[in-house]
Amino acid sequence: MSENKTDYILRVEDIHKTYGDAEVLKGVSFNVRKGDTIVFIGPSGTGKSTLLRCINQLTVPDSGRVWLHDEEVTNSGKKINRFRQKIGMVFQNFYLFDHLTAIKNVEIALIKVKGMSPEAAREKALYELRQVGMEDFADHYPAELSGGQAQRVSIARALAMEPDVILFDEPTSALDPELTREVLEVMRKLALEGMTMLVVTHEMGFARSVATEIVFMESGVIQEIGTPAEVFGDGGGFERIRSFMGKIGDLSGD
């Protein structure tokens, strides 16, 4: 199979990041094809969040490069805001805009960043809320939503920008199992529809059924990468992923 550079929608090249004297990312590289769902797992504090944030430059890496299609995202100066429209992000704590209703949360960037008319933005926002099953809550404020509902709105907010890829940083870690299920359902549907997604999660059921690849990170580097079939199959290798999954399996009781 020809590994032409342009096969990849997103390329991450040798990212390094140090906080103080702690080297959090020690050279991380990987490539993402359109429609891929890459699941990142690994112990706490190994730099998974930092890695995602380096991709859209919320955190500026010390060195290394990120490419979206054939354009460099790193070192892009003011142009970064255009890349960020193309790289959606969903956070563990939702970060919905507290003073805006669900629909206004989705609309605001469409109007202010994309320059859409309020009418067009409203229509688009309603459509995206429908996609995540939240159209009935369009006029609710974040404080009036459950965690699962808030997270689905935040996914709609990311989707509305029509991003090429969405980064999910532990999107269900703040949720009860019941609410986790409704959010994972939405994400599963997105993956099936061909959205390109990078997902940090400990939901192994999701990883197993949805991931194109599972990436195991530890101590600031990628330790192992494999498809769910490889990782969950009975072939050799992947000891570290399996041992890690064993541990979190014990914790979650399944």
Ligand X SMILES: Nc1ncnc2c1ncn2[C@@H]1O[C@H](COP(=O)(O)OP(=O)(O)OP(=O)(O)O)[C@@H](O)[C@H]1O
- Are 63 and 229 a contacting pair, CB within 8 Å? no
Where do we find the tokens 């206004």?
104
Q: CA angle at residue 199 from 108 to 129, to 5 degrees?
A: 35
Determine if 19 is a binding residue for ligand X (CB under 6 A). Answer: yes
With the C-alpha atoms ordered 205, 210, 215, 220, is the resulting torsion angle positive or negative?
negative
Both tokens of residue 94? 């939702």
Residue closer to other proteins, measured from CB, 9 or 241: 9
In the structure encoding, which two tokens stand for residue 108, read together?
């605001």
Q: How far is the CB of 113 from ligand X (least distance, A)?
A: 25
Q: Could you say which of 96, 116, 199, 210 contacts other proteins (CB under 8 A)? A: 96
Among 37, 49, 56, 57, binds Mg ion (CB under 5 A): 49
Cα 84 versus chain centre, distance:
13
- Contact predicate 11/31, CB 8 Å: yes
19 binds, among Mg ion, other proteins, ligand X, none (CB under 5 to 8 A by kind): ligand X
**Binding flag, residue 45, ligand X (CB under 6 A):** yes
DSSP 52-106: HHHHTTSS--SEEEEEETTEE-TT-GGGHHHHHHHEEEE-TT----TTS-HHHHH
Minimum Å gap between C-beta 44 and ligand X is: 3
CA 81 vs. chain centroid, Å, equals: 18
Is residue 46 a contact point for Mg ion (CB under 5 A)? no
Q: Could you give the string, one character per residue 127-146, with x where binding to ligand X holds by CB under 6 A and - elsewhere? A: --------------------
Looking at beta carbons only, is 8 or 91 nearer to other proteins? 91
Q: Which stretch binds Mg ion (CB under 5 A): 43-51, 147-155, 186-194, 237-245?
A: 43-51
Among positions 54-93, residues that touch other proteins (CB under 8 A) are: 56, 58, 81-85, 87-89, 91, 93
Residue 148 Cβ, how far from other proteins at the closest point, in Å? Answer: 16
**Nearest approach, Cβ of 99 to other proteins (angstroms)?**
5
Strand partners, 26: 16
The residue ranges that bind other proteins (CB under 8 A) are 56, 58, 81-85, 87-89, 91, 93, 95-99, 108-109, 112-113, 140-144, 154, 157-158, 161
